[in-house]
């Protein structure tokens, strides 16, 4: 079915029906800035209130506040590679910023915004906290049972990973189109040839 002048009605085939790049980039920027600010503010509070204090139960043993200064990656792995991790974080932030220019999917904007917030949150610690630039320790303070201590940036990165996987499985690209929209269709005349067979 087609609209006037042969325009496709299918929303997937009509780019004007998808959110504009400006709107999706605004979602990306808002999520990234909000997540980044939340991560920084909670870390400042954690350091000021939990330094030298015993564990603080928030919800019994289910959620406990414990200040940990982590020199490594997730789950305190790779503690001897802090400079490498800092460099990778800088590269990741640049790549995410570059990809954000092509966004026309709100879910991708949300996912990449969360990823940027998480990467920048932990990178800020590595750049500005002790023992020095590129070697700073990341502030972790949230603890669940049988789980390593983490922070808001880690939550943002995990949320981003989940959204990116959902979009990948759905076949949705950064520009909001689906993989099937880019599959080559039959060449003109092929359908007629098949009908004769």
Residues 163-180 have pLDDT tens digits of 999 999 999 999 999 977
What is the average pLDDT across 14-27?
76
Active-site pick, 55, 61, 125, 154: 154
pLDDT value for 193: 45
Rounded to an integer, the average pLDDT of 10-30 is 74
Instruction: Report the domain count for the chain.
Output: 1
pLDDT at 3: 47
**Counting Cβ atoms within 10 Å, is residue 1 exposed (0-12), middle (13-18) or buried (19+)?**
exposed
Asked whether residue 189 is assigned to any structural domain, the reply reads no
Counting residues of the chain whose pLDDT is more than 90, the rounded percentage is 72
Query: Domain for residue 84, yes or no?
Result: yes
Given this model, what pLDDT does residue 82 score? 87
Instruction: Tell me if 14 is assigned to some domain.
Output: no
Range of the domain at 139: 19-176
Determine whether 175 is an active site residue.
no
Distance of alpha carbon 69 from alpha carbon 139, whole angstroms:
5
Q: How far apart are CA 72 and CA 53, in angstroms?
A: 23
Query: Does 7 score more than 80 pLDDT?
Result: no
**Residue 186: inside a domain:** no
Most confident of 16-20, 80-84, 122-126, 184-188: 122-126
140 is catalytic: yes
Average pLDDT over residues 2-7: 47
Interatomic CA distance for residues 108 and 168, integer angstroms: 10
Which residue from 128, 121, 102, 126 is spatially nearest to 160, judged by alpha carbons?
A: 121
Tell me if 185 is assigned to some domain. no
Asked if the model's pLDDT at residue 101 lies above 60, the reply is yes
Catalytic position from the list 10, 125, 140, 179: 140
Please provide the average confidence, as pLDDT, over all residues in the chain.
Answer: 86
Is 39 within a domain?
yes
pLDDT band at 32; cut points 50, 70, 90: very high
Residue 197 lies in a domain: no
> For the segment 33-70, what is each residue's pLDDT rounded down to a tens digit?
999 999 999 999 999 999 999 999 999 999 999 999 99
What pLDDT, on a 0 to 100 scale, did the predictor assign at position 79? 72
Kindly state whether residue 95 falls inside one of the protein's structural domains.
yes
Q: Where on the phi/psi map is residue 181: left (φ > 0), alpha (ψ -120 to 50), or beta?
A: alpha
Q: Is 71 left (phi over 0), alpha (psi -120 to 50) or beta?
A: alpha
């Amino acid at each position: 079915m087609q609209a006037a002048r042969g325009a496709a009605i299918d929303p997937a085939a009509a780019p004007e029906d998808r959110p504009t790049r400006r709107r999706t980039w605004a979602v990306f920027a808002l999520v990234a800035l909000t997540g980044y600010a939340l991560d920084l503010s909670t870390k400042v509070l954690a350091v000021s209130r939990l330094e030298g204090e015993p564990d603080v139960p928030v919800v019994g043993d289910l959620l406990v506040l414990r200040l940990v200064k982590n020199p490594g990656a997730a789950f305190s792995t790779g503690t001897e590679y802090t400079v490498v991790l800092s460099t990778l974080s800088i590269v990741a932030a640049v790549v995410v910023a570059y990809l954000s220019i092509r966004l026309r999917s709100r879910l991708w904007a949300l996912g990449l915004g969360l990823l940027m917030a998480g990467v920048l949150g932990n990178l800020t610690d590595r750049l500005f906290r002790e023992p020095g630039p590129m070697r700073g320790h990341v502030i972790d303070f949230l603890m669940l049972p049988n789980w390593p201590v983490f922070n808001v940036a880690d939550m943002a990165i995990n949320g981003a990973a989940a959204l990116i996987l959902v979009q990948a499985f759905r076949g949705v690209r950064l520009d909001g189109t689906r993989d099937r929209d880019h599959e080559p269709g039959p060449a003109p005349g092929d359908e007629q040839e098949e009908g004769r067979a």
